[in-house]
Amino acid sequence: MSQPFKHVATLTILLVFFFAARDILGSGWGSGHWFGKLSEKWAILLTVVYAIMVSLAGLAVIGLYLPDRLKRLSEKLLALRQRLGFWRWPSLLLSAFLPTWFVFYSPWGELFPGVFFRLLLFTISLVALGFLLTAKKQEHLTWRSLLKAGILIGAIAVLADAFLPVSNYPFALHWSEGNRIWDYSVVFGRDRYNYFGSEPIFAWIDPGRQALWGLPFLVPNVPIWVVRLWGAFLVTVPYALLGWVAFRPIKEVKEYWILAGVWTLIFLNQGPIYTPLVLAAILVAFARKKPIWLALPLVYFAGEYAGASRFTWRFAPGIWAVMLTLGDAAIVKGKILWRDWLSAGTLGLAGIWSKGLPIILGIFTGLLTSISSPTEPPPNQLGGTVETLQGLHQGVTNQPFLLERLFPNPIYPPGILLGILLATGPIILLLNYLIRKNIWKTIFLQRLVIILGLGAFLIVGVIASAKVGGGTDLHNMDMLFVGLVLVAAIAWDSGFVARIANSIKQVPLVQWILSGMVLIPAFIPLISGKPLALPAPERTEFVMDRIQNAVSCARTYGEVLFMDQRQLITFGYVGDLSLVVDYEKKYVMDQALSGNEDYFEKFREDLASGRFSLIVSEREAILFKEPDVESIGDSLNEENNAWVTWVTTPLLQYYESVGDFKDTAIELFMPTDRDYDCP
């Protein structure tokens, strides 16, 4: 081991332990928790535990510079591993589950949110699990066992993060959860609502996502915990399934194929990626190397489903199909055979046929028109469908851009650009290494198609992330994430899998790149994770009773509007209340971000007339946030100010609060000039 590496490793260990100690002090004595909530004995215990960790760090540093001094200890550790026998499995489980238990299921998870302390915990578990997974008797730790450990720990954390919210708690668990459940229900669960309109119930959500998440409502009287369980399943299992379909199993190394699927789970979780796009990608991946008569309908249906789910996804299946077909193409005398070009073009066209082709034709026609008649279109031509150049332009620019969200900011600390670099940089470096070393044999045209496809996904993701309302995570980079998985699947078949063991052992660069590919996404869910904190059942029952009483009384005087918490109607918590479709919170927010004056003129008129005898909403306050002021836990200044301007201000002008429940984020409002009173 080189001296520079030893110095860097030592410095890293010291820095991590220093900042971890700072995290502990900040969460402990600095906040008064240790001597308040957890008492003095817990402070002493944690101090002892940390002292043990520091001792281990000291041993690690000594091992770097003076390995002979630790020879006896090293031999004892190897002997201990051999003697574990039955206890090897409990030790494996303890090492694998420790970070997840600490962050998501113990009271310590909320008390100690420091990134470096959690990184320290993750690293210790990683090394311990890697040590236990190392098969050779005379080896303490190998890169392969370390990578396996990282994938396992990361997968457990991702699954815990997704399934933690599964509960019968009746109120929304986050800003949009309750109303999203309502969105999902109106397709297959319309009979749950007292609604007499002949038209479909309007819900501001795409049909593909609505139908998929709405499947549980085919079951009569399905409880809310089942709906949440289905949602957790959808944002985990399909991710791994995509990996297992995209990466083909190889007999000699089936273990790697299993791990590749689990790695796909933690890689895509960095978005996270909405499941309809993942399902479309599974169809495209399954169509890979299939006869054209089978691949064609698969790619077509993938394009249809993606296009029905989100506008920006309409071209993704077609582009993926072209990338995969040309990436797998046979090279004869340095050229791609014409039949592969034909197959790629046919599949690409099938993927965009009914959803993307009209857009291309409309944009092309608009460009020709603008060139031949370079004048501004009449105002009534703007705001049309996206199948026109003007409609596309307005769809992109109907809300302001916040370029500062591309860079480090309070909402998403690394910023979109640095975040995407950390998330995708290692896999891009690996693909580039494989090409440069000729392990993955490609020609220029293959590389060009892949670069153009991934570049288009990156540009679209950056634009979507920079718009107001975006930039809080990497979910708008969804097509890029999935595209990289599919490109990696091409490289997987290039011979890299057969040579991966030697590459890990012999090439330090590959070791570090693979470590980044695994350990960065594995640690991501542990950074901001915390236990599920719900009010006591008695408090939940009290708030529910207050809401039910208010609804029962107010419904006799007029319409009751649930701007928020519409799942209470879905699951019958407020009886057979007549459904008011208007002014659903998420749609109202979208109109506020767009500054839709006509929409809010009608909203103000309804408030002024006292149309609603009761409004159930989130907690409201006329509080504008300055752009340069960082608010703890919520720095969405532009979104907050748009809501206060268009919603809160007129609401509080004509309505007053009659119930404010901070711990459930619910507030009740009645007209200020009402001639009735509800207890």
328-342 pLDDT, tens digit each:
998 888 899 999 999
448-479 pLDDT per residue, tens: 999 999 999 999 999 999 987 778 899 999 99
Instruction: Give me the pLDDT at residue 415, please.
Output: 93
End-to-end CA distance of the chain, in Å? 76
Which residue in the block uniquely carries the two structure tokens 């690293």?
123
What integer is the mean pLDDT of 200-214? 93
More confident residue, 634 or 511: 511
* pLDDT, averaged across the chain: 87
Q: What percent of the chain has pLDDT over 90?
A: 61
What integer is the mean pLDDT of 641-667? 96
Nearest to 454 by CA among 570, 332, 319, 331: 319
Q: Where are the alpha helices (DSSP H) in 235-381?
A: 237-246, 254-268, 275-287, 292-309, 316-327, 338-352, 357-372
Pairing label, strands 612-617, 655-661: unpaired
175's CB contacts (< 8 A; 6+ apart) are 618
Helix (H, G, I), strand (E, B) or coil at 143: helix
What integer is the mean pLDDT of 205-224? 95
Q: Is the pLDDT of residue 666 over 50?
A: yes
Q: Which of 491-505, 519-533, 574-588 has the lowest mean pLDDT?
A: 491-505
Instruction: Give me the pLDDT at residue 391, please.
Output: 62
Which residue in the block uniquely carries the two structure tokens 């200044």?
637
pTM exceeding the 0.85 threshold for the entire prediction:
yes
For helices 237-246 and 275-287, what crossing angle results, to 10°? 20
What are the structure tokens assigned to 558, written together?
A: 């007029």
For helices 497-506 and 143-163, what crossing angle results, to 10°? 110
The sign of the torsion formed by the CA atoms of 102, 104, 107, 112 equals positive
More confident residue, 410 or 221: 221
